[in-house]
Amino acid sequence: MPADVGRPGWDHDETADSFLGNALGKATALWKDVGGAYTVLADDSGICVDALGGAPGIYSARYGQEEAGRKLSDHEKNLLLLKALSGKTDRSARFVCALALVVGPHRVFTAEESWEGAVAPTVDGVHGFGYDPLFFLPNLGVTSAQLAPAEKNRLSHRYRACRRLAAVVTDLEDFA
């Protein structure tokens, strides 16, 4: 966390046109801000819905706030997403997570993974956060918010991306 390296309240504008670009932007900016004294890991993630042309996508965290003039709660964003899908038959969607690890000026590693599913017709489940109550897993017949946290973590896009970077970190330690 930026506060852990003396940067409480640190933020970076997400201006890239991809999850990976935003993760790289955050990681690189914080790495430079701390003078390269720390290895920095940053992520960007969200839900992409095919029937909405990939929206909310990189705007998942800010979905609907411009129209509302304020930041929406997770529940409000879920209801807005359901409204946007009203009358649409294609409900395929995926969670995407991009991670960027900056070790040095020329030592930058990334991973990007997805978790395929669909948008459920209603909000269901109590675990997780964000779009989890809407993210339906057809092969399991539940939303990700209905999974036990350990099961969700084992299947998720974040877990997959973290596993990829964990292999890089292990390799870095071997050559440190």
* Backbone region of residue 141 per phi and psi (left: phi > 0; alpha: psi in -120 to 50; beta: other values): left
Confidence of residue 139 (pLDDT cuts 50, 70, 90): very high
pLDDT at 105 over 60: yes
44: annotated active-site residue: yes
How does DSSP assign 48-91, residue by residue?
A: EEGGGTT-BGGGGGGTTHHHHTSPPPHHHHHHHHHHHTTT-S--
In this prediction, residues 36-64 reach a mean pLDDT of 95
Regarding pTM above 0.95, the answer is no
pLDDT at 174 over 70: no
CATH 1.10.1130.10 is the classification of domain 2-174: no
Query: Longest C-alpha distance within the chain, in Å?
Result: 55
In this prediction, residues 51-58 reach a mean pLDDT of 98
Catalytic residue among 44, 90, 124, 174: 44
Share of the chain above pLDDT 70, in %: 98
For tokens 């649409």, the residue is 88
For tokens 């940053």, the residue is 42
